[in-house]
Structure 1
C-alpha cells in the first residue's frame, strides 16, 4: 500500500467514526465531526489544531502548507465526477474548492448532497487509485 493510500484509509476511518462537517465555515466541531480536509490533516499529523475550531483561515493555511495533506486532497479530487475549478490567481487547479463544491452541491441524479457513505466510497476509490498508480513495481530487465 502506498503512503497516500494509507493516509486515505486512515481518513476513511476518521470520517466513519467522527462524522463529517457538511456546512459552516469551521473545519471541526466540538462534537468530533471534521471537514474532509481536516480529517485528512488529522490522518497525516494525528492532531486537530485549535484553529480548526475557531480560525478557518489559519486552518486553511495549515492544510495548504502541508504537502502530504495536499497530495491526498489531489487524489480525492482526481476521482470526483467533476473537474476542479481553476484558481484565478495561480491558474492551477483548486482541489480544496473542488472538494468543498462536491460536498456542498446536490447530486444531479439523487437530488441530495453527499453523506458520510458517499465520502467513504470516494475515499476508497481515491485510495485504490493512489495504490494502483504509485505501487507499480519497477520494470525488470530481461536477462
Structure 2
C-alpha cells in the first residue's frame, strides 16, 4: 500500500465518522465535527486538526500547502476527477485545492446535485486504489 493510499483510506474513515463539508463554507472545520476534504486529509496525514481550520482560511491553506503528503493526496484526487484543475496565474501551477473545492461546491451540470459524503468516499476509494497501482500521478482528463 502506498503512503497516499494509506492517507486516503484514513480520510475515508474520518469522512464516514465526522461527515464532510460538501458545499460553500467559511472555514475548513465546523464545530459539529465536519471537515472540508482537504482538512480531513490533513488530519489523516498528521493526526491533528489545527485550531486555524475553525477560523482562519488563509492560515489553513498555508498549512495545507506546506504539507507535502497532503498536497500529494490532493493532486491524486484532482487527477481522478473528470475535470481539469484551474491554473493559478501567480504560481503558474495547477491549483488542486481549488479544483477539489469547486468540485464539492458546484452542482453537477446534468443532475443539479452536489457530491455528498458517500460520493466523496467513493472518489477516495477510487483514488486510493489508483495511487496504490500507479507510480506517477496521471494527468487530469477533460470531461467528455
The aligned length equals: 135
**Aligned equivalent of 1:71:** 72
Asked whether 1:86 is paired with 2:105, we answer: no
RMSD (CA atoms): 1.2
**Aligned equivalent of 1:127:** 128
Q: Per-residue displacement from partner, 1:55-104 (whole Å, max 9, x unpaired)?
A: 11111100000001000000000000100010011211100000011001
Aligned-pair CA distance for 1:54: 1.1
Moved over 6 A (4+): none
Q: d(CA) in 2 for partners of 1:9 and 1:73? A: 13
Q: d(CA) in 2 for partners of 1:134 and 1:13? A: 24
The answer to whether the 8 A contact 1:64-1:70 is kept is yes
Q: Which runs of 5+ in 2 are unaligned?
A: 137-144
The answer to whether the 8 A contact 1:4-1:72 is kept is yes
Q: Which residues of 2 match residues 1-143 of structure 1 at below 5 A?
A: 1-22=1-22, 23-134=24-135
Tell me, what secondary structure is at the counterpart of 1:17? helix
TM-score between both structures, scaled by the size of structure 2: 0.91
Q: d(CA) in 1 for partners of 2:82 and 2:109? A: 11
Q: d(CA) in 1 for partners of 2:26 and 2:71? A: 19
Q: d(CA) in 2 for partners of 1:7 and 1:106? A: 27
